[in-house]
Amino acid sequence: MNATEARAAGGLALVFAFRMLGMFMVLPVLATYGLELDDATPALIGLAIGAYGLTQAILQIPLGIISDRIGRLPVIYLGLLVFAAGAALAASSDSIWGVIAGRVIQGAGAISAAVMALLSDLTREQHRTKAMAMIGMSIGLSFAVAMIIGPLLTHAFGLSGLFWVTTIMALLGMLIVAAMPKASSQRQHRESVVARQALVATLRHADLLRLDFSILVLHAVLMASFVVLPLALVEPGGLPKEHHWWVYLGALLIGFCGMIPFIVYGEKKRQMRRVLLGAVGLLLFCEVFFWLLGNSLWALVLGMVLFFTAFNLLEASLPSLISKVAPAGGKGTAMGVYSTSQFLGAALGGIFGGWLFQQGGATWVFAGCAVLCALWLMVVIGMNEPPYVTSLRLPLAKAALQDKGLAERLLALPGVTDVVVASEEEAIYLKIDTLVIDRNELERLVSTGAVA
């Protein structure tokens, strides 16, 4: 990447990180500190934890489409401003209802699709995968940091102070966007935006739907579990809430290191389906473990280490599986539906986790999560082994666009599994097996018109 591209990718990764920090920092603390708010009940705490996901799920795809029409920057600025306003409302509230309203407003600042589209506008084709990987890493890192600094900030400044920090980060995000390089034009790119022509096929694809269900259940289980886990660390765990950060730090670090060998095995041996099933099975085991044996601090710590190993493994592998399974030119649409499912899962998990906790205590929540994981396992067991392919987008000259047999000839090449010509973009999308066909050679054949 050149300096401009690196600056754009780094800046947008930081914007993403600030925003996700604001979303996730409340996760480990709202159950313990939120009960001090007026009118707070376990059910309303759960609603506050997951409320952002509902508006995020509803608005993410529409705002991405709007950004295609009015421009990326207006949508991003407005989204960050709305996010800051929601955080400020939650910070100013002494009641759980104000926090819920603030979280709902935060979720309405749904800028993910617009940010990814802006990244495509600011980076060249050959560097886009690296730029998107930077944003993916920033999201994962922000979750880990949020779980650690959330308890520390809340202990120092209270729940209100935590939301004020979130407000400041959103405003800093606006300054970062303002200082970034400006795109010379908006590019249509089906790998990073939702393409309406690919939406129906995406919603009918059985394995993509299984992966959408997977991320929905994963985040539902995460949110529901964190309605009760922070409280369980206090009682019966006996760990004061200001010391919870070291549990999360240790569990996340061990979980991150623990998932790496499985990712390497799955990719190198082409056994990602087996890895997915194993991770879901481990998550099911964790919920049953919490349900039956989570009555001491060390049992809870052990369970959380295993939980975060499974969570990190799934959080890392599911987007990769979406990329493999999505048809050529359909990755952006598939990721849009996937992200919507993720936020919907967060909303449902918080709401039902809080309700179950109010009805029957922690055991009901863990039992409910175990049932969800068992259902998830039944859904994904019928999934096919994903194709081990790489997405590729190549520009096409006007003469090549008129070549009606180009797609058919490319599909006849060993290692090319899918081809879509996007005339409106003057480009062609391919899915290729890089162990069979060399990417550089394919680019040369297309650019020179030498496809036999």
The CATH number that applies at residue 276 is: 1.20.1250.20
**Statement to judge: residues 201 and 287 lie in one domain:** yes
Nearest to 33 by CA among 17, 49, 21: 49
The pLDDT, as a whole number, for residue 78 is 95
Domain that holds residue 443: 394-448
Last residue of one domain, picked from the residues 174, 193, 212:
193
pTM value surpassing 0.85: yes
**Statement to judge: residues 223 and 275 lie in one domain:** yes
* CA count, 13 A, side-chain hemisphere, 448: 9
Joined together, the tokens standing for residue 349 give 């998990």
CB-based contact 255:263 (threshold 8 Å)? no
CB-based contact 357:364 (threshold 8 Å)? yes
The pLDDT, as a whole number, for residue 126 is 67
Q: Which residues pair with 418 in a beta bridge?
A: 431
The pLDDT, as a whole number, for residue 396 is 81
Supply the DSSP symbol for 71: -
C-alpha 58/C-alpha 107 separation (Å) is 9
What is the side-by-side order of every strand in the sheet holding 416-422? 390-395, 427-432, 416-422
CA distances for 352 relative to 103, 217, 280, 367, angstroms: 17, 12, 20, 12
**Statement to judge: residues 354 and 224 lie in one domain:** yes
Longest dimension (CA), the chain: 72
C-alpha 291/C-alpha 299 separation (Å) is 11
Residues in contact with 204: Cβ distance below 8 Å, sequence separation at least 6, in sequence order: none
The enclosing domain of 399 has a CATH number of 3.30.70.100
C-alpha 222/C-alpha 346 separation (Å) is 8
CB-based contact 91:101 (threshold 8 Å)? no
**Statement to judge: residues 167 and 200 lie in one domain:** no
Nearest to 73 by CA among 21, 42, 29, 117: 117
**Statement to judge: residues 248 and 366 lie in one domain:** yes
**Statement to judge: residues 209 and 349 lie in one domain:** yes
**Statement to judge: residues 215 and 282 lie in one domain:** yes
Last residue of one domain, picked from the residues 166, 193, 220:
193
Nearest to 229 by CA among 308, 152, 163: 308
CB-based contact 55:108 (threshold 8 Å)? yes
The pLDDT, as a whole number, for residue 265 is 93
The pLDDT, as a whole number, for residue 180 is 85
C-alpha 303/C-alpha 294 separation (Å) is 8
**Statement to judge: residues 230 and 102 lie in one domain:** no
* pLDDT beneath 50: ranges in the chain: none
CA distances for 171 relative to 92, 103, 292, angstroms: 17, 17, 45
**Statement to judge: residues 43 and 98 lie in one domain:** yes
Last residue of one domain, picked from the residues 371, 388, 405:
388
**Statement to judge: residues 89 and 183 lie in one domain:** yes
Joined together, the tokens standing for residue 182 give 């400006």
Domain count, the chain: 3
The pLDDT, as a whole number, for residue 124 is 73
CB-based contact 46:212 (threshold 8 Å)? no
